[in-house]
Amino acid sequence: MDFRKLKLYQTPIIFIFSCSAFYAAFAYDLERADFFKLIGLYLAVFFLSFKLIQMQKNNFWLLAGAALLFRLIFLFALPNLSQDFFRFIWDGRLITTGWNPYRYIPNELIEMNNFSLSQAVELIKGMGSLSAGHYSNYPPLNQFLFAISGYLSTSSILGSVIIFRLMIILADLGTLIFGRKLLRSLGLPEYRIFWYILNPFIIIEMTGNLHFESVMVFFLVLSLYLLQTRKWMISALVFGLSVSIKLLPLMLLPLFFNYFSTDKRSLNFSKLITYYLLVIATLAISFVPFYSEEIFSNFMASIGLWFGKFEFNASIYYLVRWVGFQVKGYNIIETAGKVLPAISLLIILGLSFFRNNATSRQLIENMLFAVTAYLLLSTTVHPWYLAIPLMLSLFTEFKYMLAWTLVVILSYFAYSNPEFQENPWLLALEYLVVLYYLGRDLFQRSKPQVAY
């Protein structure tokens, strides 16, 4: 027997077994308030996953199998770091019983005499007063996925969770396939896709906590792959589907301005306008089944809350807010919530008109910068928002998103106390790490690149 081969075979198995044990503890033996256990488990599984990818980066099927295994561990667990899934179930069952989730607020709907919904009280309690007091803000294709669960699981919360989880796992498998194809097409190392697929942040926040950014990322990656292979009309339709899951990719549309070019000096405006129209038409058509006179105002009112009322895990905004307290003596979120998005828009327009987006790699890099600027200027940065910039970073030479997905777990400290108070020192540590690695990436950009 060749003991050297046996040792090489056993090592990744030990790493996979250890990760599986930590993920099982995450899924079935963790409360969100237990911050130190949360941090310990996360750091351990992050380190093990990082080493596993480093050691086995050329063993595609082993890493792909591990990624699927880690996700299946969560299959029968209720999410323990987020309560959003209760609203997903509510909206899905609402649609299957003929109610429009964009027209009715849960707290008001449950008081109606003619209203009946399986486990309504339990769902209202689970989603919390904030969600129960506002219209749904999830775009139409996301609602369609909720409705599938509502149709297949009419009276079981766990049953609905399992259906959601299978959808997200399938989306991640799609991202694995087309992300790998896109990396290959761009001449980049294929194993980079595992910095997303095997990233504990993705596994825990998407499969574990049921955030549908995973589906949005799948459609975005597929759209970029189709664009790279010159199937630009289908790319536009798929891009529209991505927006219909989560609105965030909509901010990336200006970056296509000089992508469609007939040569280095002129743009093909017909292609550009057609691309934009196909994206917008896809999004608009997805809203048709939910159309009512109130839909636009209700939907935008819910979206507007994120800019003018909510604040969590912010960076630049918290500095602006502190200055506001010193100068004005009160929280200036309503003003900052309007000014900071405007600055984000100006940055995106600058990236669109003053930087080269003629190739797919240049386009993706500027997409990464655009989303990063948006997040750094946002009033609310939930951990799962990092999914899209993490994926985009794989197609560039920038590595700072890997560091951000490690330190973003510090934001969960807010849930370790009854007042949900954030720790400014932990937030400072998080963003200092992010800015350090971002600065280092920018500084080293002119030097010879090393694959990661």
d(CA 360, CA 367): 10
Return the residue matching tokens 């990396």.
Answer: 183
SS3 annotation, 379-417:
CECCHHHHHHHHHHHCCCCCCHHHHHHHHHHHHHHHHHC
Instruction: Kindly report, residue by residue over 236-265, the tens digit of the pLDDT.
Output: 999 999 999 999 999 999 999 888 865 455
Contacts of 337 (CB under 8 A, 6+ apart): 307, 308, 309, 379
* Mean pLDDT along residues 38-42: 97
DSSP states along 280-343: HHHHHHHHGGG--TTHHHHHHHHHHHHHHT--BS-SHHHHHHHHHHHHTSS--HHHHHHHHHHH
Query: What is the reported pLDDT for 3?
Result: 44
Whether the CB-CB separation of 393 and 404 falls below 8 Å is answered with: no
C-alpha 245, offset from chain centre: 11
pLDDT band at 448 (very low <50, low <70, confident <90, very high): low
Instruction: Kindly report, residue by residue over 84-93, the tens digit of the pLDDT.
Output: 999 999 999 9
Reported as half-sphere exposure (CB side, CA atoms, 13 A), residue 267 has a value of: 15
Query: What phi and psi values does residue 440 have, to the nearest 5 degrees?
Result: -65, -40
pLDDT band at 446 (very low <50, low <70, confident <90, very high): low
Residue 6 has pLDDT above 60, yes or no: no
Residue 142 has pLDDT above 70, yes or no: yes
Nearest Cα residue to 239 out of 283, 272, 270: 283
Query: What is the reported pLDDT for 451?
Result: 53
Which range among 208-222, 280-294, 372-386, 401-415 shows the weakest confidence by mean pLDDT?
Answer: 280-294
Query: What is the reported pLDDT for 262?
Result: 53
Whether the CB-CB separation of 340 and 284 falls below 8 Å is answered with: no
Q: CA 26 → CA 78, 168, 205, 319, distances in Å? A: 11, 18, 11, 33
d(CA 443, CA 452): 17
Residue 4 has pLDDT above 70, yes or no: no
Residue 308 has pLDDT above 70, yes or no: no
Residue 38 has pLDDT above 60, yes or no: yes
Residue 10 has pLDDT above 80, yes or no: no
Q: Which residue has the higher pLDDT, 376 or 444?
A: 376
Residue 403 has pLDDT above 90, yes or no: yes
The size of the chain, in residues, is: 452
Query: What is the reported pLDDT for 144?
Result: 97
Instruction: Kindly report, residue by residue over 327-343, the tens digit of the pLDDT.
Output: 887 777 778 878 898 99
Angle, helices 232-245/269-287, rounded to nearest 10 degrees: 40
Mean of all residue pLDDT scores within the chain: 91
Highest mean pLDDT among 9-23, 104-118, 286-300, 424-438: 424-438
* Mean pLDDT along residues 39-52: 96
* Mean pLDDT along residues 283-310: 78
Residue 387 has pLDDT above 50, yes or no: yes
Domain ranges of the chain: 3-80+161-446
Query: What is the reported pLDDT for 294?
Result: 77
Angle, helices 400-407/424-444, rounded to nearest 10 degrees: 170
d(CA 46, CA 408): 12
Q: Which residue has the higher pLDDT, 1 or 171?
A: 171
Contacts of 180 (CB under 8 A, 6+ apart): 60, 190, 193
Residue 320 token pair: 């602006």
